[in-house]
Amino acid sequence: MDKRLLDFVCCPVTKVPLQLLDSERLATLNVAILAGQLQNRAAQPLSEPLSEALVTRNGRSVYPVREGKPILLEEESIDWHQLGQ
């Protein structure tokens, strides 16, 4: 993903700025995805691990990045609280 986008993108729902999800939290997210423990806000189970993701600066919502493009749709976002953290 083009890092210059981070200066402009924000959560489409809350307008909180977004940042790249760090590798440690991305790994935690992917473990939960592969274990079948996560769903997006549209209540669809997630099965494909993410190579990149954006997270709101308050850490509540995660947006997938697919093929270098952030998917900034509310229904595609992941509520971080599902991880119990």
- Domain regions of the chain by residue span: 3-83
Q: How far apart are CA 26 and CA 22, in angstroms?
A: 6
Give pLDDT tens digits for 4-63: 777 788 999 999 999 999 999 999 999 999 999 999 999 999 999 999 999 999 999 999
* Main-chain dihedrals φ then ψ at residue 79, nearest 5 degrees: -80, 115
* Main-chain dihedrals φ then ψ at residue 43, nearest 5 degrees: 65, 25
Q: How confident is the model at residue 1 (pLDDT cuts 50, 70, 90)?
A: low
